[in-house]
A and B are shown apart, each in its own frame.
Chain A
């Protein structure tokens, strides 16, 4: 077994150990209901961070719109679940909701990638930033409903749809989607995280992964050895968007009212996820998972401290940055744990 494979295995073990520990604490009643409510969000942010790391750390392209892909996954899947909640049993419905959320997020990633990934430079960051905001605003503006005459859509208000009184409002503009069945739970979220890890880690340790990383390290050299750069950029970016979409599905099915607010899908959320990736170590998948979980939990845990909450949070960010990237501490870590090359350990 190579070092890389051992490393990847350790990530799965870590996630499973975390899951067991949480389950035990749940059974023993050690978690407050506030903390219990944070479990699923913690995991879906870890999932987006894994997806974003594929884009930022492995492919080397900056995306500032992963909250937008989450939004696409959330709304497309919530729409489906709401339409079929009376006709389909929960398990297959949730499974299909995943397929739909992932497919739509991947489709948007693919469509954005077609023009943008052909360019050299930071265009992807600019376009994805805009995409995230546009998607959020479009969803906020749309009123969608169904009745016996079919699907109605309006960009003005709920009345504008012209539904018959028995008609069903699906997306109520800025009020969003209400009544999505809450199918997501901690166990399902962890399973999705494990699947995301499986896909990304396997990809890294393969022909495709090496091609993607070679593009990150040197595009000109990658072309000189015959690697089709645009194709692999598209592959990595689409998978990355799809994973964010999966996190969006969990999001939508863990909340009673799904609204496209800045708090959940704004660019600040995309930046927050980027912070998880950077502080977890760019290119280190395990780091993304750990950082996302800790850094999501921390400000929530500090709510009691109110005023000082963000102050402490920012100090923690700085400390983590120092610990992760200072040469002295890295060399100490290499000596102590016998590890080399953070990027390689991915």
Chain B
């Protein structure tokens, strides 16, 4: 067991001549709710993509629970214990709500392709357990009543929740949420804050959150990293960071212009 759950050292990636993420280091402790903020184009989502293996970093090391996962394939990183949601919701739109969750449970509740084709007794047993577990998860996110609805037919706020439920179904150690409040009205945002707090308490989850909504960030994150132009602008306790003049400048611009 290492000290930090996630340890990122000097992470960088270059696209052509552009250093989209430049020497970013951060560490997240177990059970922490950590925020990653910054103006548009600061490289927040790129950091997520680096952490989850969508991009391979040019430099730097990512360690999860002491294990080096730098540049590993997405699937392996998910197995190691990182699950994520996406800024532009990526649900399995043609599948029902419960099937979205079951797809994510397929590693834990496993049977062979032969069982799949012949619907053997093992299939029936495992499917039953999987169904129960998926239903429980949906209940946590208050989606239980919509289990057979097509994912694309859910209202926006619930689609966000389903995406979180799906990520949670892979039993991660670390959950990455990419702008979960994007496009939500104040009511939905309030409900989302409640959901995030719930996940944290109920599953003892460590969460890394990208967010634009300052109110949401100030309300729930303990520590923050502020990115600007791919570099770390400020880092530390939420309150201190948010009152940092550099951060205010990056968000609101200089007094001169």
Task: Give me the interface of A with B, judged by CB distance under 8 Å.
Answer: 2-3, 199, 202-203, 205-211, 213-214, 216-218, 220-229, 235, 283, 340-341, 343-344
Contacts and interface: CB of A to CB of B under 8 A. Distances in A.
Contacts of B225: none
B39 to A, nearest CB: 25
Given A229-B75, A343-B94, 18 more contacts: A2-B148, A207-B106, A207-B110, A207-B126, A210-B102, A211-B103, A213-B103, A214-B103, A216-B94, A217-B92, A218-B91, A220-B86, A223-B75, A224-B78, A226-B104, A226-B107, A283-B94, A344-B94
B113 interface: yes
Contacts of B110: 207
- Which 10 pairs show the lowest CB-CB distances between chains A and B? A206-B116, A217-B92, A221-B90, A226-B78, A225-B104, A223-B74, A343-B94, A208-B116, A341-B150, A210-B103
Contacts of B135: none
A199 B117 contact: yes
B94 A221 contact: no
Most buried by B among A216, A221, A283: A221
A205 B130 CA distance: 13
24 contacts: A202-B116, A202-B118, A206-B115, A207-B116, A208-B113, A210-B106, A211-B106, A213-B92, A216-B94, A217-B91, A217-B94, A218-B92, A218-B93, A220-B54, A220-B90, A222-B103, A223-B73, A223-B75, A224-B90, A225-B167, A226-B75, A226-B107, A341-B153, A344-B150
Nearest to A220: B90
Contacts of B94: 213, 216-217, 283, 341, 343-344
Contacts of A283: 94
Contacts of A341: 94, 96, 150, 153
A344 B109 CA distance: 22
Nearest to B106: A207
A203 B113 CA distance: 8
A209 B94 CA distance: 13
A74 to B, nearest CB: 24
Contacts of A208: 113, 116
Interface residues of B, number: 44
A90 to B, nearest CB: 28
A25 B91 CA distance: 48
B231 interface: no
Interface of B: 52, 54, 73-75, 78-79, 83-84, 86, 90-96, 99-100, 102-104, 106-107, 109-111, 113, 115-119, 123, 126-127, 130, 148, 150, 153, 166-167, 169-170
Given A214-B103, A228-B75, A344-B96, A202 B117 contact: yes
Q: Binding site of A, secondary structure by majority: helix, strand, loop or mixed? A: helix
Which of A205, A206, A227 has the most chain B CB atoms inside 10 A of its CB? A206
Given A224-B74, A225-B78, A226-B79, A218 B90 contact: yes
A273 to B, nearest CB: 22
Nearest to A60: B94
Nearest to B176: A224
B90 A227 contact: no
A235 B117 contact: no
B72 to A, nearest CB: 12
A87 to B, nearest CB: 32
Contacts of A223: 73-75, 78
Contacts of B117: 199, 202-203, 206
Among B52, B75, B83, B130: residue with most chain A CB under 10 A: B75
A221 B153 CA distance: 18
Nearest to B110: A207
Given A221-B90, A225-B103, A207 B109 contact: yes
A209 B93 CA distance: 15
Contacts of A210: 95, 99, 102-103, 106
A194 B90 CA distance: 35
A235 B113 contact: yes
A206 B119 contact: yes
Given A207-B109, A214-B103, A224-B52, A344 B116 contact: no
B127 to A, nearest CB: 8
Contacts of B54: 220
B219 to A, nearest CB: 27
B93 A217 contact: yes
A213 B95 contact: yes
Contact of B116 (A2, A209, A220): A209
B110 to A, nearest CB: 7
Contacts of A214: 92, 95, 100, 103
Nearest to A235: B113
Contacts of B73: 223
Contacts of A211: 103, 106
Contacts of A221: 86, 90-92, 166
Nearest to A3: B148
A229 B106 CA distance: 13
Contacts of B84: 224
Given A199-B117, A206-B123, A207-B116, A227 B106 contact: yes
Contacts of B150: 340-341, 343-344
Nearest to A215: B92
Contacts of A235: 113
Contacts of B170: 225-226
A224 B83 contact: yes
B165 to A, nearest CB: 11
